[in-house]
Structure 1
Amino acid sequence: MADQIKIRAQINGDLTDIRVLMQHPMETGQRRDERGQSVPAHFIQTFSVLLNGKPMINGQLNTSVSKNPLFSFRAKGIKSGDKLAVTWTDNRGEQRQDEITLN
């Protein structure tokens, strides 16, 4: 199973700063290992950010995104006690979901 998604959120009045670190190798399929063998493509294809179970962001990634992608954004209307969840699915069908409750 993939490493935990790190979700950080800081509420500042009406705005909340959110940072999401999705730990994933994000291989392009174009790199070669030390023996000259192609390293198979392995990357996050889709991700979602949910607030209290409702979609806030739905995104698609590809091979051009670096290892362990970090996303940062701001949102309005989030309050203490809300649940923020992040999910992703990669090109091998692997999935990960993690959730935090905001303080």
Structure 2
Amino acid sequence: MAITARDRIRAKLKEGDTTVRVLLAHPMHTGRGKDENGELIPAQFIQDIRCWRNGNEVMAIKCGTATARNPYFSFQLAGGAVGDKIMIRWVDNLGAKGVTETELR
């Protein structure tokens, strides 16, 4: 199944630290839900999310079936400078991938 929606990301410098907000477009099926015909929808969920600042990995998150559809994450990174490149990459259990990036403002 292809994921066609776009992920969204924002990063701001506030009081010397970087605040990153990201909304990932993903259905996050648990494998327990049913479609309109009563058939089980196969599990499809994000397993791994990673964040890089200027090419250096700064964070990794492991997810499972309990994470909501179109998950939203907000987190802070120590330090940062205007113009830093922030990149998020995710991979789901079926091998689908997404990448989004922004510059720190």
Instruction: For structure 2, list consecutive stretches of 5 or more residues without a partner in the other structure.
Output: none
Instruction: For structure 1, list consecutive stretches of 5 or more residues without a partner in the other structure.
Output: none
User: Residue in 1 aligned with 2:100?
Assistant: 98
Check whether the contact 1:15–1:74 (CA below 8 A) recurs between aligned residues.
yes
Question: Which sits farther off after the overlay, 1-10 or 77-86?
Answer: 1-10
The counterpart of 2:89, out of the listed 79, 87, 90, is 87
Using the aligned pairs only, state the percent identity.
37
Are residues 1:46 and 2:48 paired?
yes
Question: Which sits farther off after the overlay, 3-12 or 26-35?
Answer: 3-12
TM-score by length of 2: 0.91
CA distance in 2, matches of 1:89, 1:15: 27
Name segments (4+ residues, structure 1) moved above 4 Å.
none
* RMSD value, Cα: 1.1
The counterpart of 1:8, out of the listed 7, 10, 20, is 10
Q: Deviations over 1:24-73 (max 9, x none)?
A: 00000001112110011010011101101111111110000010010111
Measured after TM superposition, the shift of residue 4 of structure 1 is 2.2
Count of aligned pairs: 103
Task: Return the letter of the residue paired with 1:10.
Answer: K
What SS is found at the alignment partner of 2:59?
strand
